[in-house]
Amino acid sequence: MAKITREVRIKMELEFSEFKGQKRKKFLSELSQISGVPLEEIIVTRFNKGCVIFYGELDREAVERLVELFENLQNLGSELYSKEFKDFLKHWDITSITQNIDSHCESQQEKQNNVRDLVLFVHGWNGSLKSWGELPIFIGELVDCKTALYEYPTGVWDNSPSLEFIARNLDNWVRANYRNFSKISIVAHSMGGILVRRLATLQKNRKKKLDNIVQVTFIASPHNGAVLAKLATFIPTLEKLQLQELSADSPFIFSLNSDWLGWVESGAINRENIRCIVGTNDKVVSVNNAMGLDAYAVPLLGEDHINIVKPKGKNSEVVVTLQMFLEDAAFKIKEADS
């Protein structure tokens, strides 16, 4: 289940025009160290102009601890506090740290302005929140949206539940946290694409459907199963349930492909907003397997199965391509900093 998060507001007396690129990355990295929240779990909501005001969502306890530390520092003096915390405040010229207790409560004005848009990232087999590198951060900086990452147990030696169970948990997780958002885009890597397709087909029999999923991007996802998964099932000591379901000839994949095509043809989503990105150097999922129903799937030259979702910068092709897909699905692109 998802951690309970809360929005934190950090005001810095810095020039906004100079606070971008590497400076933002360094700030987020130091915030991660000070708060104890992994960098990939910090959800960047926005950076406001004026001076520099950071809004982001962190684990609730971490936010409360940051605010308490800052407030006590103002009242009790600096001698009681760690050098790291004081250096963090001084380095970024931080003048206030506050929390928004009602950050998850959607206001009527937000609904009217359709500002509650989400881009959700779902990793693949044997992956984790770190699988994405800085891709979610880059998208959060370029697109006017909230970003979130879904994590689930998977791997060779871990207790890896059935894909069916994980897909149902993903359905519940999205409903519990984001069902009131205006638009949801899901970016799925590798086996994550199978989970997302199962999430979509689950809606057929739900009275209250997740009808705010308006865009899906599959990156190096095996639409017809993975041949390597079948080979791995012959190794007796491996956790094999997910691998068996992932095999190209598994009943799970056979049924899923039929149900997925039915969901798409039902008009539940604009077919033009179902996009695929493939890597020409992918040794795990072939280009033809990864293109799915997207006749205009985008091949990224030289990209392999892992690094295709770990861009080196905001100008990396996977970032630019995903931004284009989101813009095509009516997500608002932020204006470039002047």
Residue 82 resides in a domain:
yes
Other beta carbons within 10 angstroms of residue 39's beta carbon come to: 15
Whether 295 and 311 map to the same domain: the answer is: yes
Q: Is there a single domain that holds both residue 87 and residue 120?
A: no
pLDDT at 337: 58
What type of residue sits at position 291? M
Length of the chain: 338
pLDDT in tens, 229-284: 544 444 444 445 566 676 767 788 899 999 999 999 999 999 999 999 999 999 98
Query: Is position 251 within any domain?
Result: yes
Percentage, residues of the chain above pLDDT 70: 83
Distance of alpha carbon 128 from alpha carbon 153, whole angstroms? 8
**C-alpha span between 11 and 140 (Å, rounded):** 19
pLDDT tens figures, 270-299: 999 999 999 999 998 999 999 999 999 999
**277 domain residue, yes or no:** yes
pLDDT the model gives residue 232 = 47
Write out the residue range of the structural domain in which residue 145 sits.
108-328
- Whether 84 and 118 map to the same domain: the answer is no
> In this structure, is residue 72 part of a structural domain?
yes
- The answer to the question of residue 317 being in a domain is yes
Is residue 261 one of the residues assigned to a domain?
A: yes
Say if CB 189 and CB 18 are below 8 A apart. Answer: no
In this structure, what token pair is assigned to residue 264?
């798409």
Whether residue 116 sits in one domain with residue 74: no
Provide the angle, in degrees to the nearest 10, between the axes of the packed helices 83-91 and 60-76. Answer: 90
**No. of H helices and E strands in the chain?**
12, 10
**CA gap 170, 195 in Å, rounded:** 8
Residues 165 and 287 placed together within one structural domain of the fold: yes
How many independent structural domains does the chain possess? 2
For residue range 294-323, what is the model confidence (pLDDT) as tens digits? 999 999 999 999 999 999 999 999 999 999
Q: Could you tell me if 61 and 200 lie in one domain? A: no
> Taking the mean position of all CA atoms in its chain, how far away is CA 56?
14
Domain of 221, CATH number, reads 3.40.50.1820
Residue ending a domain, among 47, 82, 100, is: 100
